[in-house]
Amino acid sequence: MIKNDLYLRALKGETVERPPVWMMRQAGRYLPEFIALRNKYDFFTRCQTPELAAEITMQPIRRFPLDAAILFSDILVIPQAMGIDFKMKEGIGPWLDEPIRTPEAVEKIQVPEVNDKLNYVFEAITLTLEQLNHEIPLIGFAGSPWTILCYCVEGKGSKSFDMAKSFCFQHPSAAHLLLQKITDTTIAYLKRKVEKGVSAVQIFDSWGGMLSPADYSVFSWQYIQQIVEALRPITEVIVFAKGCWYALEEMSHSKASALGVDWTVTPEIARKLTGNKITLQGNFDPARLHSSPKIIRNMVDDMIRRFGKDRYIANLGHGILPNIPLENAEAFIKAVVEWKA
C-alpha cells in the first residue's frame, strides 16, 4: 500500500482534505543536483541508464513534500525504439538527421518489441520504486502520437510545426499510418510500465494546440482515445493537451481519469466545459514562479479555491522553467501542502 495516496484518491474523484501537488518537469533542470549530472552525462545517457534515471526522479522528492513522483525519461524514447534516430543537440534540442517526410519512409517504420527496445525504462521503474519505498505514487508517461509525429516530420522543435501539418494534409493516409504505429507502440509501452509498478500514466500532447479543433479530433484526439481506452482498465490515465481548452468538453466524455489544463483557460471555464465531473490538473503559469514566494502562495490559494479542493490536482500549466529559484518552487508546493479550507 502507498502511504500517501492523496494523488490517487484525487484521480478517483474521492473527497480529500486538500489537493495533491506535483510539478511537470519536477525532476529536472531547475535543480542544482540535476545540473551536476547534466554536466557529466549527455541527455539520452541519462534517460537510458536506469540508475541515473532513478536518481533524477528522486532528486525533487528528497527536497520537497511532493505527493507524486514522475519517472525521468523523454517522449522521444518511443520513436527511438521504432528506429527513428533522434539525438539531443546542444542549444537546439531534439534533432533528426533524416525527418520522416514521405509515405515510403512511413512504410519502413516498425512497431518494436518494447521489452527489448525500452527495457532500460522498465529497469528504472524498478529502481525508483525501491527508493520510493511505497511513500508516494510513481507516474509514468508518454507523448501523444500527434506530438511525436510533429518531431518525426519536422525533425526538430518548431513554433508552428508547419511541415508536420502539411505532411498530414498532403499525405493523410501515410500520416494516419504513422500515428497508428506510434499509438500501438505507446499502448504496449505504457502497459509494461503499469506491469512494472507505476500507479498512473500521463499522456503529454504538447503540440495539440497547433491544430484547429476539427483537425485535432482527426489527427490527435482519436489516437489519444485509443491509448486511454487500452490503459484505463488497468490504471489511472491523465491527458494533458497544451493549448487545447476547446477540446475539454469532448475529452471529459472519455474514460480518462483526469485532464490537465494550461494557464490560458480559467478554472471556471475548465469546470464548465467538463461539467465538473472529472478531475482537473493545473494550471499555474510556470513563469509566475518568478513572482515572490508571498505572491505565489496567494495565487495558489486563489487557484485552489477557484478549482475547488476535490477532483483537483495542483500543478503547473506546463513544465517548470530552468531558471526558477528553488525557494519559489518550494513556495508553490508548500502553499498546496499547507492549504486549509
Residue 21 domain flag = yes
18 is catalytic: no
50-60 confidence digits (pLDDT tens)? 999 999 999 99
Q: Catalytic one among 151, 189, 223, 312? A: 151
Q: Which pLDDT belongs to residue 90?
A: 85
- Is 151 assigned a ligand-binding role in the annotation? yes
Over 90: is that where the pLDDT of 341 sits? no
Consult the annotation and say whether 206 binds a ligand.
yes
Band (pLDDT 50/70/90 cuts) for residue 217 is very high
Q: Note whether residue 208 is domain-resident.
A: yes
On whether residue 284 sits in a domain, the answer given is: yes
Mean pLDDT of 87-102: 94
Model confidence pLDDT, tens digit, residues 138-178? 999 999 999 999 999 999 999 999 999 999 999 999 999 99
74 given a catalytic annotation:
yes
Our CA dihedral for 72, 78, 84, 87, rounded to 10 degrees, sits at -10
Catalytic member of 74, 184, 205, 262: 74
Buried b (16+ CB within 10 A) or exposed e, 247-266: bbebbbebebbbbbbbbebe
254 is in an annotated binding site: no
Do the domain assignments include residue 196?
yes
Q: Is 141 annotated as a binding residue?
A: no
For 129-140, write each residue's pLDDT tens digit: 999 999 999 999
Quick: pLDDT tens for 235-292: 999 999 999 999 999 999 999 999 999 999 999 999 999 999 999 999 999 999 999 9
Query: Grid coordinates 499502448 are at which residue?
Result: 187
pLDDT score for 51: 98
**What pLDDT score does 200 carry?**
98
Q: What is the residue-averaged pLDDT of the chain?
A: 98
Residue 262 placed within a domain:
yes
To the question of whether residue 134 is assigned a binding role by annotation, the answer is no
Q: Is 271 inside a domain boundary? A: yes
Q: Does residue 38 carry a catalytic annotation?
A: yes
pLDDT above 90: percentage of residues in the chain: 99
- Other Cβ atoms closer than 10 A to 215: 16
| % of the chain surpassing 70 pLDDT | 100
Q: Residue 91 — pLDDT band, cuts 50, 70, 90?
A: confident
**What's the domain count of the chain?**
1
SS (H, E, C) the chain: CCCCCHHHHHHCCCCCCCCCECCCCCCCCCCHHHHHHHCCCCHHHHHHCHHHHHHHHHHHHHHCCCCCEECCCCCCHHHHHCCCCCEEECCCEEECCCCCCCHHHHHHCCCCCHHHHCHHHHHHHHHHHHHHCCCCCEEEEEECHHHHHHHHHHCECCCCCHHHHHHHHHCHHHHHHHHHHHHHHHHHHHHHHHHHCCCEEEEEECCHHHCCHHHHHHHHHHHHHHHHHHHCCCCEEEEEECCCHHHHHHHHCCCCCEEEECCCCCHHHHHHHCCCCCEEEEEECHHHHHCCHHHHHHHHHHHHHHHCCCCEEEEECCCCCCCCCHHHHHHHHHHHHCCCC
18 pLDDT band (50/70/90 cuts)? very high
Q: Domain residues for 308?
A: 6-337
**Rounded CA separation 242/328 (Å):** 23
Domain CATH for 288? 3.20.20.210
* Residue 1 domain-assigned (yes or no): no
Q: Which pLDDT score, from 0 to 100, does residue 339 have?
A: 98
158 annotated ligand binder: no
* 318 annotated as belonging to a binding site for a ligand: yes
- Contact, 29 vs 74, CB < 8 A? no
Mean per-residue pLDDT, 310-315: 98
